[in-house]
Amino acid sequence: MYKAKALLGEKAGEVIYAKDPDLTHDLCRRWKIYCYECTQFLYFNESKDSEKRDNWFSHYDYPDKNCSERNSSDKGKAQQGFSSESREQDLETAESFIEKVFYGIDPEFFQRQNSEEIEDNSSLILSSIKWLQENLQYKCNAWISHYCRKVGFLGWKNPGREISYLMDWLHVLYRRHDVLENLLGYFISIYLSSEFEINAIQAKFGTSSSNQKEEDLIWLIILDRVIGQLSSVARDGVSSTIINTVALRTFIEFKIPPNEKKTPFRGKLKYTLDNKQMSVAVKNLESGDLVEYVCFDKDHTNYFYYIRYGKGNDISDSKSTGFSKDDSLHLHMDDDGDLAVKGFLDRKLAKSVTKGISKVLLNGSAYSMLVFLRKGYISRDVAEKAAQLALRFEFGNLSPPEAFEKFRSLSGIKTR
Ligand SMILES: [Zn+2]
C-alpha cells in the first residue's frame, strides 16, 4: 500500500505517502506508521530503483490478516519476494510502544499489577469492553467530537484532524485487548475508590445526564485521562525511563525442550569468570538497542533472571540488576521428572524465555551447564538433566548422569 498514517511526530494524525522522496526508514520508525483501515502497524519498503517512486508500506506479520488493504496490496509484493520486515523495523518494538503509552499513565501501578487484581473486577471489565465495542462508533465519537471542538487537542486547532487522531488511538487500544483489559482494571479500581469531578468531565464531553450507566461514567473518566496522556505523548514522546519499569508480570511455567539438532561444542569454557553474578546475552532485538539476558547469581542456586536491557548498560556487575529471588525464575524438576521453569516474568518476555534459557543451558559453548554448575549457579541434578536434553537428538535417551559425563567428555574438560 502507498498511504499510511502517523501516530507520532510532526505528521501525527496525518496521511503520509510512500512515494514522498523525503521519507526514510528512520522517520517511519519514529512516526509509528499504521494502517488507516485496521490500525495495525506498517513498515516501509524502499524500492531498489533510484527514483523511489515504487516505495511502499506493508503490514507486519500479525496473526490477524483480515485487513482488506493487506489483502489487496501486500500480496503482490510478497510474491515478488519483498516481504521481509526491513531496516530494524520490527513488530515487537512497534507494539510495545502501545504498552509504553498506556501503562505510562501510571507506570508504578502497572509494574505492581498482577493477574489477581484484575480478576476481582472481571465482570465490570468485560461489560466495559463490550461498551466500547458497541459505542465506539457513535457515542464515543460524539463525545470526542464535542471535546475537540470545545476544549481542543494540543492546540492543533483542527477539530477534524484531532477527532480522527483520537478515534484512531481508541481503535488501536481496542485492537490490543490485553492492554485494554489492564487499563480497565486500573480505571475501575480508581473509579470505585475515588471521588471524581464527574460533572466537569461530563461537561468536557458534552454529556450531562445524571443517570448514566456505570460503564458510561467509567469511559468518561478513561477518555479524560487517556486524552491527557496522549497529548503528553504526542508533544514529548514516551518517556524513555518507562522502558524498563513498565512491565506486567505474569506467571509462567514450562518444560525445557530438548535440542532439536546436534549440540555444538566450541570455545573454551570461561572458568576464569569470578563474578558473584553472571549475565549471558541471549537475544539481540531487531530494533537494535535492546538485548535480552539470562542472569545467574551464586547466592540463589537454580534461580535466574530473564531481563531486557538497553545495549549500553553493563549488567555484568551484580549490583546493577539487584537480583532478588522473588523476582526470578526457578529451574526445577517438575512432577513428571522433567526440567522445568516457573515464576513471574514480564509478560512481553514470556515468549522468548524458553529459547533463551535453553540456549545457555544446552549448548556446549563458553557458557553452558558445566560452567553454571562449577560456579554454583545451578545444582548437579539440574546440570545432569540439562545434559540429557542437550544430547537427546544425537545420542537418544541417556540417563542424566551418563549424559552429563558424555557432555563433559565432548566438551574436552577432564575434571572430576
Ligand atoms: Zn490494515
Angle at 97 between CA 322 and CA 218, to 5 degrees: 100
Average pLDDT over residues 380-385: 95
CA–centroid distance, residue 202 to ligand 1 (Å): 33
Of the given ranges (247-256, 313-322, 385-394), which has the lowest mean pLDDT? 313-322
CA–centroid distance, residue 33 to ligand 1 (Å): 11
CA–centroid distance, residue 34 to ligand 1 (Å): 8
The residue type of 13 is: G
CA–centroid distance, residue 38 to ligand 1 (Å): 4
- List of residues 6+ apart from 84 with CB closer than 8 A: none
User: Which triple of cell numbers denotes residue 199?
Assistant: 460533572
CA–centroid distance, residue 216 to ligand 1 (Å): 29
User: Which triple of cell numbers denotes residue 109?
Assistant: 501501578
Of the given ranges (168-182, 284-298, 401-415), which has the lowest mean pLDDT? 284-298
What pLDDT sits at residue 234? 86
CA–centroid distance, residue 87 to ligand 1 (Å): 20
In the predicted structure, residue 325 carries a pLDDT above the cut 60 = yes
Total length of the chain: 416
CA–centroid distance, residue 40 to ligand 1 (Å): 6
Percent of the chain residues topping a pLDDT of 90: 37
CA–centroid distance, residue 88 to ligand 1 (Å): 20
DSSP string for residues in 255-266: EPPPPSSPPPB-
Per-residue pLDDT tens over the stretch 331-356? 999 999 999 999 888 777 888 899 89
What pLDDT sits at residue 130? 95
CA–centroid distance, residue 141 to ligand 1 (Å): 21
CA–centroid distance, residue 156 to ligand 1 (Å): 26
Average pLDDT over residues 263-282: 68
The 3-class secondary structure across 72-118, one letter per residue, is HHHHHHHHCCCCCCCCCCCHHHHHHHHHHHHHCCCHHHHHHCCHHHH
Q: Hey, what's the torsion of the CAs at 111, 115, 120, 122, to 10 degrees?
A: 110
CA–centroid distance, residue 1 to ligand 1 (Å): 9
> Is the model more confident about 244 or about 21?
21
pTM value is 0.60
Of the given ranges (18-32, 143-157, 268-282), which has the lowest mean pLDDT? 268-282
Q: How many CA atoms lie within 13 A of 281 on its CB side?
A: 14
Average pLDDT over residues 84-95: 67
What pLDDT sits at residue 263? 83
CA–centroid distance, residue 232 to ligand 1 (Å): 26
Phi, psi dihedral angles at 44 (to 5 degrees): -100, 135
CA–centroid distance, residue 57 to ligand 1 (Å): 10
CA–centroid distance, residue 244 to ligand 1 (Å): 30
Q: Predicted confidence band at 322 (pLDDT cuts at 50, 70, 90)?
A: low
> Is the model more confident about 299 or about 84?
299
Separation of alpha carbons 315 and 52, rounded Å: 43
What pLDDT sits at residue 73? 63
CA–centroid distance, residue 359 to ligand 1 (Å): 36
